[in-house]
Amino acid sequence: MSTKKNGKKESVTLREKKLANGNISLYLDIYRDGKRSYEFLKLYITKASTPLEREINRQTRATAQAIKAKRQIELQNNEYGFNSQFKLDTPFLEYYRKMCDDRAKNQESRGNYQNWFSCLKHLERYCSEDTTFRDITPEWIEGFKSFLDTTGKDLHKSKYDDGKPVKPLSQNSKVSYFNKLRAAINQAYDDRIIPINPLRGVEGFKQEETERVYLIFDEVKELAKTPCRNAVLKRAFLFSCLTGLRKSDIERLKWGNVENFGDYVRINFKQKKTGGRQYLDISDQAVPFMGERGYDDELVFSGFKYSAYLLLELSKWCMNAGIKKNVTFHTGRHTFAVLMITEGVDLFTVSKLLGHKEISTTQIYAKVVDKKKQDAVNRIPSLSDDIAEPVKDPKELMINFMGDN
């Protein structure tokens, strides 16, 4: 593919990369201000053997060319001064701090404020107060990723302090901080501070798959039968097991959020974690755990405020029920998800019930159910105790089995 047009080198070139599976990945080679960057389009040319497959490949290439043309126009606008409407000299840290302040003032976003503030502390170490959005390039973002890979949890120490290793950031913390940076840059793009989004082609951190502690149905039944010294804790936890609600949403749930629709009950609320509006129909057996209906502005689970004390009470209650797992209140949400998938509810529906923005988050629970199936097949008793000599031929084993009957 030629990289020249009218004798001038193109600043955006569509390139191809052959993958191990034989497919071709399409990406853009972008040359700007003496620097080269790459944008992987996540568009793929597959091996085509039918007219339909060839037509799909043709449309894929056309889409890639359209994206290339758009990027070329964006760069030309920048080159010829058409970007005067943008504010590239806006101080980056100042802009990010304002986003933090906005979340601190917003009741719905306050729960996520600490993560934004923690990310700010890392950004203040990574870049200077003079950093503007003109400096935010794909290379700058990749540099921040490398910084998170090497920095420690203690912001006042380097990775090694007096020869003693400092505990590194967890994978999930790195995911969270990068997502905060991503949100700030995307907002700046929407606010027309930058003409081109430098996040294009930059991969984030992969979420670490942590163990999901959950209860099986018989354990939930046992908890329901076992007395708990804190009545509202018992009601709230069992309600979470049957609805999947987070503790933060249960704490804030008011009777005004509970609506009757004929024969069923629906909860209409805003998730504290994501800020998203959710409509959740709850089962008949979950309704009694809410108790007697009160005024619209009254809390459904009045007196429930999760704390270290309630965690201790939860642990004691589980021990009295014969449950030896490391149960936290969030175990109720995990329990609901696993019960739903075990009962054959499809992932898309479970994702909506949990209020997940991405179905990939829900797929983690599907892996848990697959592990349960693997454990189940290994419960078949060993044959070695009943067989005097190893059976080499499977047919011989079948003949012996038929003979015993």
Q: Got the DSSP string for 355-396?
A: T-SSHHHHHHHHHHHHHHHHHHHTTSPPSTTT-SS----HHH
- Same-domain pairing of 32 and 77: yes
- Same-domain pairing of 96 and 77: no
Reported as type and span, the H/E element at residue 297 is: none
Determine the average pLDDT of the residues in 304-322. 91
Determine the average pLDDT of the residues in 68-87. 69
Determine the average pLDDT of the residues in 52-59. 86
d(CA 75, CA 68): 11
Say if CB 350 and CB 343 are below 8 A apart.
Answer: no
d(CA 31, CA 158): 35
Name the band, by pLDDT with cuts 50, 70 and 90, for residue 7.
very low
Which residue would you say has higher pLDDT here, 356 or 78? 356
The domain boundary residue, chosen from 84, 118, 153: 84
- Same-domain pairing of 69 and 114: no
Among 7-21, 26-40, 112-126, 196-210, which range has the highest average pLDDT? 112-126
- Same-domain pairing of 164 and 304: no
User: How much of the chain, in percent, has pLDDT values that exceed 90?
Assistant: 32
* Residue 197 falls inside a structural domain: no
Which residue would you say has higher pLDDT here, 169 or 222? 222
Reply yes or no on whether the pLDDT at 14 is more than 80: yes
Determine the average pLDDT of the residues in 289-294. 91
- Same-domain pairing of 64 and 46: yes
Q: Which amino acid makes up residue 246?
A: R
pLDDT digits (tens, 9 = 90+) for 236-291: 999 999 998 888 889 989 999 888 877 788 888 776 666 566 778 888 899 999 99
Residue 353 is predicted with a pLDDT of: 82
CATH code of the domain in which 238 resides: 1.10.443.10
Start-to-end CA span in the chain (Å)? 73
Name the band, by pLDDT with cuts 50, 70 and 90, for residue 374.
low
Q: How many domains does the chain have?
A: 3
CA dihedral 47→50→53→59, nearest 10 degrees, is 110
d(CA 311, CA 315): 6
* Residue 199 falls inside a structural domain: no
Strands, E, within 233-284: which ranges? 258-261, 264-270, 277-282
Residue 78 is predicted with a pLDDT of: 63
Taking all residues of the chain, what is their mean pLDDT, rounded to a whole number?
A: 80
Closest CA to 151 of 127, 179, 172, 170: 170
Least confident of 147-151, 157-161, 251-255: 157-161
Residue 262 is predicted with a pLDDT of: 75
d(CA 331, CA 345): 19
The domain boundary residue, chosen from 17, 50, 84: 84
- Same-domain pairing of 251 and 221: yes
Determine the average pLDDT of the residues in 17-40. 84
Determine the average pLDDT of the residues in 376-385. 61
Residue 37 is predicted with a pLDDT of: 79
Pairing outcome for strands 277-282 and 258-261: unpaired
Q: Left (φ > 0), alpha (ψ -120 to 50) or beta: where does 64 sit?
A: alpha
Pairing outcome for strands 160-161 and 35-45: unpaired
Which residue would you say has higher pLDDT here, 94 or 376? 94
pTM (two decimals) = 0.51
- Same-domain pairing of 365 and 238: yes
- Same-domain pairing of 320 and 242: yes
Ranges of H-type helices in 18-91: 51-79
Determine the average pLDDT of the residues in 120-133. 93
Residue 187 is predicted with a pLDDT of: 92
* Residue 202 falls inside a structural domain: no
Domain extent for 344: 217-377
Which residue would you say has higher pLDDT here, 362 or 63? 63
- Same-domain pairing of 103 and 73: no
* Residue 284 falls inside a structural domain: yes
- Same-domain pairing of 279 and 333: yes
Reported as type and span, the H/E element at residue 233 is: helix 231-243
* Residue 392 falls inside a structural domain: no
Reply yes or no on whether the pLDDT at 360 is more than 50: yes
Contacts of 222 (CB under 8 A, 6+ apart): 321, 322, 323
Pairing outcome for strands 8-9 and 160-161: unpaired
State the residue for tokens 């009950």: 265
* Residue 68 falls inside a structural domain: yes
Residue 107 is predicted with a pLDDT of: 59
Angle at 210 between CA 207 and CA 211, to 5 degrees: 155
Residue 229 is predicted with a pLDDT of: 93
- Same-domain pairing of 98 and 32: no
The domain boundary residue, chosen from 64, 84, 104: 84
Reply yes or no on whether the pLDDT at 86 is more than 80: no
Reported as type and span, the H/E element at residue 131 is: none
- Same-domain pairing of 55 and 104: no
* Residue 365 falls inside a structural domain: yes
* Residue 195 falls inside a structural domain: no
Reply yes or no on whether the pLDDT at 9 is more than 60: no
